[in-house]
Amino acid sequence: MTCEDSRIYLPAYLDDELGVAENLRMQNHLAGCTDCRQAQEEQLALRSALHDPGLYAHASPEFAKRIEAAILHAAKEEAGASQRSVWSGFSRMGSFRWVPVAAIAVIGVTLGFFLTMNGLRASHERLLANSVLTWHIRSLQPGHLVDVPSSDRHTVKPWFQGKLDFAPPVPDLSELGWNLIGGRLDYLDGRSVAAVVYQRRMHNINVFLWPNHATADGGITEEDAQGYQILHWNGADMTYWVVSDLNKAELEDFARALRGH
Ligand SMILES: [Zn+2]
């Protein structure tokens, strides 16, 4: 420990606030350093001087009462002033004096409701995005990618018939360079959904879709998760989740092709 350190630690040392290790280091330093020992003695002298009762002046009981009365008086004045301004404001509004209160309550409740709904929607979509990614990764295990392996939409689309309560659109995008690989059933958002698989340069793209009962989205939500891109939108008829390890720009192209179809 240097002298500089010792001076920094000294007040805490005298207040017995140091840890065991620092306390020991201080004791060792003070034992071998006359300068710091002198600083310690000066501090101790100052402290005992400050405890001298002669330094303190005690207020008389009359003085204490006057202060107390002045504080009470000021508090009453302030309370009266704020009450007057509230009531004169209400009476100026005549019979509508409670309208602002009701309006504020309604705005508060509505705002709270919308904030909660947005929050719920956000957390629900977050959960779905996680499930989508999980199902995508699982589908990449050998033998799990497709239940109906085919590049022909006239084979894939009818395969879903009788397995789902809706007919998923399976567009042929091969002319744009997106090859259909096949289809599969999965379970998302508490229901059976269609998973249609496309491929580009050995990158698999899972398209999860099921009927959309909400309003259609204007744009596409995008998320980058652990090297995978997740795109999502609510179409006029179907909810879409697209996931792949393909780069973002290409996957956006794919999503546009799918939406435009
Ligand atoms: Zn020292």
Task: Please give the share of the chain, as a percent, with pLDDT higher than 70.
Answer: 80
Q: 17 alpha carbon to ligand 1 midpoint, in Å?
A: 19
| Stronger pLDDT, 27 or 56, i.e. the higher one | 27
pLDDT for residue 93 is more than 50: no
Instruction: Specify the pLDDT at position 108.
Output: 58
Beta-carbon count within 10 A of 183 CB: 24
The Cα–Cα gap between 26 and 34 comes to: 13
Q: 36 alpha carbon to ligand 1 midpoint, in Å?
A: 4
Average predicted confidence (pLDDT) for the chain:
83
Q: 12 alpha carbon to ligand 1 midpoint, in Å?
A: 16
| Stronger pLDDT, 90 or 232, i.e. the higher one | 232
Q: 48 alpha carbon to ligand 1 midpoint, in Å?
A: 23
Q: Do 231 and 221 form a contact (C-beta atoms < 8 A)?
A: yes
The Cα–Cα gap between 232 and 221 comes to: 5
Q: Do 216 and 234 form a contact (C-beta atoms < 8 A)?
A: yes
Instruction: Specify the pLDDT at position 55.
Output: 67
In this structure, what DSSP letter does residue 16 have? T
Q: 32 alpha carbon to ligand 1 midpoint, in Å?
A: 8
Highest mean pLDDT among 16-30, 48-62, 145-159 belongs to 145-159
Mean pLDDT for the stretch of residues 171-195: 94
Q: What does the pLDDT look like over 33-48, one tens digit per residue?
A: 999 999 999 888 888 8
Instruction: Specify the pLDDT at position 190.
Output: 86
Q: 9 alpha carbon to ligand 1 midpoint, in Å?
A: 11
Instruction: Specify the pLDDT at position 19.
Output: 87
Q: 21 alpha carbon to ligand 1 midpoint, in Å?
A: 17
User: Poorest-confidence range of 106-110, 135-139, 166-170?
Assistant: 106-110
Mean pLDDT for the stretch of residues 58-67: 75
pLDDT for residue 10 is more than 50: yes
Exposed / middle / buried, residue 68 (Cβ in 10 Å: 0-12, 13-18, 19+): exposed
Instruction: Specify the pLDDT at position 96.
Output: 46
Q: 49 alpha carbon to ligand 1 midpoint, in Å?
A: 24
pLDDT for residue 75 is more than 80: no
Q: 52 alpha carbon to ligand 1 midpoint, in Å?
A: 29
Q: 20 alpha carbon to ligand 1 midpoint, in Å?
A: 19
Instruction: Specify the pLDDT at position 180.
Output: 97
Q: 30 alpha carbon to ligand 1 midpoint, in Å?
A: 7
Instruction: Specify the pLDDT at position 90.
Output: 45
Q: 6 alpha carbon to ligand 1 midpoint, in Å?
A: 6
Angle, helices 3-14/20-32, rounded to nearest 10 degrees? 120
Q: 13 alpha carbon to ligand 1 midpoint, in Å?
A: 14
pLDDT for residue 146 is more than 90: yes
Q: 2 alpha carbon to ligand 1 midpoint, in Å?
A: 6
Q: 14 alpha carbon to ligand 1 midpoint, in Å?
A: 15
Q: Model confidence at 57, in pLDDT bands (50, 70, 90)?
A: low
| Chain centre distance of CA 102 | 32
| Stronger pLDDT, 76 or 152, i.e. the higher one | 152
Helix (H, G, I), strand (E, B) or coil at 196: strand
Mean pLDDT for the stretch of residues 83-107: 52
Q: What does the pLDDT look like over 124-134, one tens digit per residue?
A: 888 889 889 98
List the structure tokens of 217.
Answer: 């989205």
Q: 11 alpha carbon to ligand 1 midpoint, in Å?
A: 14
